[in-house]
Amino acid sequence: MFQPAALAAIVQRFARQSDSKRRYEQLIWYAKRLKEFPHSDKVWQNKVPGCASQVYIIATLADGRVWFQGDSDSQLTKGLVSFLIEGLSGLTPAEVLQVSPNFIQDTGLNVSLTPSRANGFYNIFKTMQQKALEHQLALSAQSLP
């Protein structure tokens, strides 16, 4: 499976931490880096299903590449959102769809997070892939005669 360089670098950063507390500190650091999310985009169409926290993801397409934005009302979840945005933004829709969620185990976060947060991380990832797929389908429809 495809793993983009930006995502691989973040995965390595987390994998080097053997202590759950340090992983949580890294997530808070990522949360602080997240760009401001437009309040007007906090609508049900952008809400990630299956998350205990309120999580929103939007995806825009520019020059054939997907750019994500997101937010959460939980700092740790906001860190997970930021992690995924940094790792997946700037890829083509097809590249986003080629990424396997198995990288989550490589971070070690799956053992540090509560089961509901680990499930939320997966749901955020799948929502980002779904939004990339929507852009890919729109691109395909545009290229039809």
26 is annotated as an active-site residue: no
Contacts of 76 (CB under 8 A, 6+ apart): 24, 27, 28, 31, 113, 117
What pLDDT, on the 0 to 100 scale, is given for residue 3?
85
122 residue type, one letter: Y
Among the listed residues 7, 34, 51, 109, the single catalytic one is: 51
d(CA 15, CA 23): 9
Residue 46 and residue 56 in contact, taking contact as beta carbons nearer than 8 Å: yes
Q: Which CATH number covers residue 133?
A: 3.90.1010.10
d(CA 5, CA 137): 25
Residue 122 and residue 104 in contact, taking contact as beta carbons nearer than 8 Å: yes
Look at strands 55-62 and 65-72 and give their pairing.
Answer: antiparallel
Helices (H) and strands (E) in the chain — how many of each? 7, 2
**How many structural domains compose the chain?**
1
d(CA 33, CA 37): 12
Q: pLDDT above 90 covers what percent of the chain?
A: 73
User: Which pLDDT tens digit goes with each residue over 39-72?
Assistant: 999 999 999 998 889 999 999 999 999 999 999 9
Task: Name the pTM for this structure.
Answer: 0.93
Find tokens 């926290």 and name the residue. Answer: 53
pLDDT band at residue 121, thresholds of 50, 70 and 90? very high
CA 43 to chain centroid: 18
What is the extent of the structural domain holding 33? 5-143
